[in-house]
Amino acid sequence: MTYASVKNSRALKTIALAACTLLVVAGCAGSPGGDSSNSAAPSSEASKTPSPTPTPTPSYKPASADGPAENVPVPEMPAVAKEHTEAGFEAFVKYYFELVNYTAESRRIDEIQPYTNRNCNTCQNILRTAEHNRTAESWMVGGDWKLDLVYTNMLKDPQGYIWGQIKFGQDALQNYESKRTKGKSFPVSEDLRWQIVLKPTDSGWLVVDLGSNEEQK
């Protein structure tokens, strides 16, 4: 081999080595697994977790001649109604009236029962009527109690009970024994003046008695 041939051979090896070096560098710049231009980027849409579909809240349907009320909203007790103060007394009486209306319309007693003494005759009549209507598949339209005034001096009697005076009215009421079959009806009652007796408890109040002054004598 001539000197020129050796020189040319060395030049070719140098070029080949340089080319290999470039390929290695180019390979390091890409993704470890292969050509970066051919690697599929993760889809942002595919990586998103689908949000759960919210459960629709059943809509309230008031009672009518066609049938009883459905999905009656449950009253919520305000925090102040648990306080043993004049404001707490008044707030609880308002809340209890809401429970009375809820019980009559929904024909359920589980919400009002924990706040009701078994010896309260008026209260127990409300509960018995609701249970009867539920069992007999009868219902009432109207008859809401509407509280106008609550007064108490917050003085305890010897038993530790606190008495109050209330003024309220009641909407006209129509009973239904079945679809479009009317039962008893009652006209609007206005300016009813009763007494309410509450017992302070650890969880708030308990209705001990409720009724007109004549009934409680």
Q: Which pTM value belongs to this model?
A: 0.74
pLDDT digits (tens, 9 = 90+) for 84-124: 999 999 999 999 999 999 999 999 999 999 999 999 999 99
| Highest CATH level, class, for 89-212 | alpha beta
pLDDT digits (tens, 9 = 90+) for 134-166: 999 999 999 999 999 999 999 999 999 999 999
Instruction: Name the residue ranges covered by the structural domains of the chain.
Output: 89-212
70 forms beta bridges with 61
How does DSSP classify residue 114? G
The least confident of 38-42, 49-53, 189-193 is: 38-42
pLDDT digits (tens, 9 = 90+) for 182-217: 999 999 999 999 999 999 999 999 999 999 976 655
Long-range contacts of range 88-93, CB-CB < 8 Å, 24 or more positions apart? Answer: 88/204, 88/205, 89/150, 89/152, 89/154, 89/162, 89/164, 89/198, 89/205, 90/150, 90/152, 92/198, 92/204, 92/205, 93/147, 93/150, 93/164, 93/166, 93/196, 93/198
